[in-house]
Structure 1
Amino acid sequence: MQLPTSIRPLALGASVVAALLASGCADMQMPQMSPTARNTAIGAGVGGVAGAAIGRDTKGAAIGAGLGALGGYVWSQHMEQKKQAMERATVGTGVAVSQTPDNQLKLNIPSDISFDTGRADIKPNLRPILDQFASGLSSQPNTEVRIVGHTDNTGSDAINDPLSQRRADAARDYLAARGVDPRRIMTSGRGEHEPVADNSTEAGRAKNRRVEIFLGERSNVATGPGIQGTPVR
């Protein structure tokens, strides 16, 4: 059975992504391909599927493939070093430092060291962590920062949504004052809408009151010439 013409690029793109993901899981099958190249190729395949879904034609798939190639993050030596530095800087603080599946560095910062209840003023315990996070970023122009504020379900959206945004903005302003280009920092406030724990208990609400900071480094393909990103091998 033949697929309709409008669906063929989507199916082809999906097949490419599946093949790339499968082959990417075993380095022995593509020993000559670096992690950066694999990430870019997979991103291009995903973008191709998205482009086909939007455009429903080969042209849409081609555009999507280009966007996918531009959209990926790379886990470089710089990113690994930053992760290790943040792990050292946050020992005993309750801050969770991790690498996300799409190669971003994530800091999950609980409210007991970040902000007092109902306020958006950065607490003293958070400042050295943000100082360490900002260190070196001014010399890494291919990095991007995303800050997301969250609250528990106490209070209304009219209170929680702007409060979570103000907290994210406060962290952005602190980083900007320490040399990070504010144009490279995106902020958002999610209020109570993305809980990670049960809001019916105090322990759960405490986990939901948090700020998440993400750091991503674009690959050389995404940022153009002059940007150096050495993949971890």
Structure 2
Amino acid sequence: MEQGIKVLIVDDIPSVCKRINNILKKDPEIIEIHTAQNGYEAILKTSLHKPDVILMDIHMETHTAGIKATHEILLHFPNIKIIMLTVYEEDELIFSAFQAGVVDYVLKDAKADVILSAVKDAYRDSSPIRPNIAKKLRGEFKRIKGNEESLLFYINIVSTLTSTELETLKLLCEGKSRSEICDIRFVEESTVKSQIRSILRKFKSKDTKEVINIINKLNIFTVLNNI
């Protein structure tokens, strides 16, 4: 390579930075190495040194400091390649990191050749989707798809409710008791009981709490208000 690779290592554990630094500096293709110990410093040193590749720790001053720093860096320097650096595999964090724009991830205790390959592949824009990453991403997309299908399913049920049933369900989801609903709506308790029975029948459920939990978990009323 004519110019060589400039790397920024971001980790709040000095020994980790030192180990990776020692691995990278032995390779002639790596011509410049800088280190940072938190998200803010990562952003600052990226602005100063314009690295080609960043090895970014996720857990630093906060649980997701690396992801936030990744967002900020790629907003201003979209051509920089960022590799997530972590000590253990967490499906949710890995997915969030790829959503933020990282191109690969390596474990901190990975062998020297693995770390070097990750840096060079990222620089060449040829980072592989490793089998374990692909599996995690497929699992996360499947989970999201399942949630979306559930959301549509329950929105469809809610759309079949009458206006009075819908009002009653909203009040139940707000934590109102049957007697409070009667007072708010100026109706008899028998009317509210009848409406709740109809709601449960449409949801094919015998448990009011179950329906309330589903509605609140999926934020259905918030979704409907934004449509």
Structure of greater relative contact order (alpha carbons < 8 Å, 6+ residues apart):
1
TM-score range, shorter chain: under 0.3
Which has the larger helix fraction?
2
TM norm structure 2: 0.27
> TM-score by structure 1 length?
0.27
Larger Rg: 2
